[in-house]
Amino acid sequence: MTDLTFIDFCAGIGAGRLALENLWLTCLGFSEIDKKAEWTYRILHDSNEENLGDLTKIDPKKLPDFNLLIAGFPCQTFSVIGQRKWMDDKRGNIIFHLIDIMKQKDIKYFLLENVKGLVNHDNGKSLKTIMKSLDEAGYYVKWQVLNSVHYGVPQMRERIYFVGFRKDLLPKDFDFVFPNSQKQTTKVEDFLIDTNELTFGEKQQTYQTFIKYLGNKYNKDKHSIDALLSNEHLVLDTRQSDIRLYHNKVPTLRLGRHGILYVRDNKFRKLSGYESILLQWFPKKLAIKAKEKIPDIHLLRQAGNAMTVTTIQAVAEEMLKSIKSIS
């Protein structure tokens, strides 16, 4: 048990919250501007708390006292699939609003997540700016890129994670160590389990689009339908011009990504929102609740924008070990 409290900023559907609550931390509130994501968040977490809303408009003085700040701050500014802007995009400034909250509330610890693209954005200048700002705010900070496939889910999802500890709490020789990678023990077939079928029209459209895709100049004569269908649980990524094939794992779930197919029972199926939520390691009982109330297209988008529960939990466990050692 722990008496640590946290507020869930840029909450999305609350993967960070779930990870921290699994470790017995107490959530005191959340902040999310996407109303559809908020709806899913409330369903998944049975939450009736007030949404703190746009964190750029929050008065930190009005927030309750809390120990740890967690945020998957907006990634579109840094992502390789975005326009990779920096100061010209207000979403890229969210980090500085978070730092202001940290300073005004004298937060002891933080855990932040963003896309891997932040590492090399603007030749590394963006990352250096963030690290410098956090250091000047009074925090020991360490970052590392981790892949969700090494932390209990069959999803290749590389993200950068930042952990921070207020410097005045630390001994001089303090050094945070990120969790070790784990051998993949999960099987993708345990996640690709949706029983919902597409309507006849949707199925026909999906199939015809896929056939056309296989015939483009990048894929023509490289793959046969029979050969693909002979591989049970083969995952096919059609996002790029050339088809990408995966065994026992799926490519990174992304906001708005609908190009993932897989083979089951000698048929092609589309990855569903329900399956995507499972691939971010939300428990099946919660994913079913979401599936029953949230349109599939929204779940696909929200899962693509979410953090992976197991990875956040692994990092937070190491943070708790460090906190215990310095207490």
Q: What would the pLDDT profile of 249-297 be if each residue is shown by its tens digit? A: 999 998 755 679 999 999 999 999 999 999 999 999 999 999 999 999 9
Q: Looking at the predicted structure, is the pLDDT value of residue 65 above 90?
A: yes
The band of 204, judged by pLDDT with boundaries at 50, 70 and 90, is confident
Q: Give the C-alpha separation, 273 to 278, whole Å.
A: 9
The count of structural domains within the chain is: 2
Q: DSSP characters for 83-136?
A: ----TTSGGGGHHHHHHHHHHHHT-SEEEEEEEGGGGTGGGGHHHHHHHHHHHH
Amino acid in the structure at residue 325:
S
**pLDDT for residue 1:** 46
pTM of this prediction?
Answer: 0.92
Q: Give the C-alpha separation, 294 to 279, whole Å.
A: 17
Q: Is 27 a catalytic residue?
A: no
CATH code: domain of residue 21: 3.40.50.150
Same domain assignment for residues 155 and 80: yes
Q: Looking at the predicted structure, is the pLDDT value of residue 116 above 90?
A: yes
- Main-chain phi, psi angles of 121, to 5 degrees: -60, 130
pLDDT average, residue stretch 35-42: 97
Q: Which helix (H) or strand (E) holds 39?
A: helix 35-45
Same domain assignment for residues 175 and 198: no
Q: Long-range CB contacts (< 8 A, 24+ apart) of 235-241?
A: 235/188, 235/260, 235/261, 235/262, 236/260, 236/261, 236/262, 236/263, 236/268, 238/210, 238/213, 241/216
Q: Looking at the predicted structure, is the pLDDT value of residue 211 above 70?
A: yes
More confident residue, 137 or 48: 137
Same domain assignment for residues 131 and 24: yes
Same domain assignment for residues 316 and 282: no
Query: Which neighbouring-strand residues pair with 70?
Result: 8, 111
Q: Looking at the predicted structure, is the pLDDT value of residue 298 above 50?
A: yes
Q: Structural domain of residue 204, as residue ranges? A: 188-304
Same domain assignment for residues 169 and 263: no
* From 11, 52, 75, 153, active-site residue: 75
Average pLDDT, the chain: 91
The band of 122, judged by pLDDT with boundaries at 50, 70 and 90, is confident
